[in-house]
Structure 1
Amino acid sequence: MRASFLECPVDILSMAETVDLARRAMRSRQRLQHVALNVAKLVNMRLDPVLAADVANSDVVSIDGMGIVWGARALGLPVKSRVAGVDLLAELLAVCASEGFKPYFLGATPPVLQRAVERVRGRHPSLVLAGYKDGYFGREDEAAVVSDIRASGADCLFIGMPTPRKERFLAAHRDVLGVPFIMGVGGSFDILAGEVRRAPARMQQLGLEWLYRVYQEPGRMWWRYARTNTLFAGILAQAVIRQILGAAPRANRVIPPGAGRVGG
């Protein structure tokens, strides 16, 4: 089911439903672009109309962060759980290994990407990678990167580049990549490589995964989360107050069938 949350499209899907959509796209070779929505991305979308359009034009917008889950519930949307991007990546790599689909990894630094590839191969010996390329290439190299992905025959493309760079890359090239399932995975390659540890399960359930990231990388992460979490809290509070006062809410509504992409 596709809905609108704070003027952003979201698809209210379970992990199993999302995996099934990806599997069907890879089997049919019909393109499906997936975006994982968290608090930081939603806040940045409100400040960057180009990023907002890139997300809105995606086929599936999964609810990644617990902040989005709780905010959507506060505004009356029937969200049961999140579909965390790193967990979805792990599920899809298992599907690729068992069903013979070939993924392509794009992003991270060369050493981090190499370690991620080695660890994934160790976990899934039957997995065949279509290819991989680090994310440190310039605009002048994009055509060669696109050509390599297209020639690889990949069934899925996982992009570990920061927002909004990956969204801009896909907006420019997704029609010619020839890859059926495309997904941005943020910093998931760092987790696959063992460079960054995930928060304990209890912290994830309490929505404190961001605090664990700050603990691991305080210099890089503290201002990002302080800024976006504060802005999100203000935006959500305004929407809740408008709803309580009976103002016509645009913040939370189910989009009628046929009006969305996959969720419609």
Structure 2
Amino acid sequence: MNNYVNILGISFSKLTLMDTVNLIDNKIKECKGKTFHIITVNPEIAIDIQEDSELKKISLEADLITPDGVGIVLASKLKRNPIPERVTGFDLLLELLKLGNQRGWSFYFFGSEESVNKKMAEYVTENYPNVKVAGRHNGFFNKQEETQIIEDIENSKPDILIVALGSPLADKWIYTYKDRIPAKVTFGVGGSLDVITGKVKRTPEIWKKMKLEWLHRRIITPSRKERQKRLKIFAYRAFVEVVYKNSKQ
């Protein structure tokens, strides 16, 4: 069975959310001494990967790329190699905290504002008492502080490193320090900490069921208008890719 589908030069995993969680569980059990780098990619980031050579290189060397967006799932159906469901950084983090509570895993939270980062650590301690918060640091730092952050992560040796620096900075940061990161698994979560801690309201379930989360975000955050123009670019390029492939067959 082919567990990947290539869309715009990006190899997306076709694993479900729970299959992905099980894969991570196994990676943590194996503990091979190399961090397992996961990238969650939505249509906007897919376009970034096409246009940013550094990010493209990082995506090619990533251990797993999950489909973080309805647009990715729809594109896979157009290619007749359907992805069963999207796997977002937000959902992945919550499921890993649940399993981590059973396994006694340790997490390090890096990124977001100090108040949000601190509140996230408190949220985890309160709701997942068997999860160890190995360490934390906000996403505002200078070069000297960055060195201290890396040393702190090295010393704390978390099972999972969560990076909330936004895209593409999170994955570029992970890639830069990949050889020094002792975490068994690491991935960026965008603004997930803001949502989990209540700084940003969660998308109502009705919008999720209608697959219109992007529209809800557009309404509550008008500043996303420019970013979401890239959704149209993705849709056009994905469609052209399918038409070109079919014309060659």
Q: What TM-score, normalized to structure 2?
A: 0.93
Greater shift after overlay, 198-207 or 16-25? Answer: 198-207
Match for 2:77: what amino acid? R
SS in structure 1 opposite 2:132? coil
The equivalent residue for 1:235 is 237
Displacement of 1:133: 0.6
- Aligned partner letter, 1:106: F
Amino acid paired to 1:247: K
Shift of 1:206: 2.9
CA distance in 1 between counterparts of 2:171 and 2:245 reads: 32
Q: How many residues align?
A: 245
* Aligned CA distance change for structure 1 residues 9 and 44 (closer, same or farther; 3 Å): same
Residue 94 of structure 2 aligns to which amino acid in structure 1?
Answer: A
Identity %: 26
Superposition deviation, residue 78 in structure 1: 2.5
| Secondary structure class of the residue paired with 1:106 | strand
The one-letter code of the counterpart of 1:96 is: G
RMSD in angstroms over aligned alpha carbons? 1.5
Residue 120 (structure 2) aligned to one of 103, 110, 116: 116
Q: What one-letter code is carried by the residue in structure 2 that aligns with 1:150?
A: E
Residue 180 (structure 1) shift: 0.6
AA partner of residue 234 (structure 1): Y
**Deviation >6 Å, runs of 4+:** none
The answer to whether 1:247 aligns with 2:224 is no
Partner deviation per Cα, 1:62-119 (whole Å, 9 max, x = no partner): 1110110001111111311111211110000111111111010011010111122222
| Alignment match of 1:16 (pick from 18, 33, 47) | 18
Residue 73 (str. 1) matches residue 74 (str. 2): no
Indicate the residue corresponding to 2:158 in structure 1. 154
Give secondary structure in 2 for the equivalent of 1:176: coil
In structure 2, what is the equivalent of residue 139 of structure 1?
143
Is the CA contact (8 Å cut-off) linking 1:67 and 1:207 kept in structure 2? no
AA at the equivalent of 1:170:
I
Q: Is the 8 A contact 1:190 1:196 kept in 2?
A: yes
Paired residue for 1:262?
none
TM-score, normalised via structure 1 length = 0.88
Tell me, yes or no, if the aligned pair for 1:103 and 1:156 is still in contact at 8 Å: yes
Q: 1:176 aligns with which of 180, 187, 204?
A: 180
The residue that corresponds to 1:191 in the other structure is 195
User: Unaligned regions of 5+ residues in structure 1, if any?
Assistant: 249-264
What residue in structure 2 maps to residue 84 of structure 1? Answer: 88
* Matching residue of 1:222: 225
Deviation at 1:3, TM superposition (A): 2.9
Q: CA deviation at 1:148?
A: 0.3
C-alpha separation in 2, matches of 1:6 and 1:206: 25
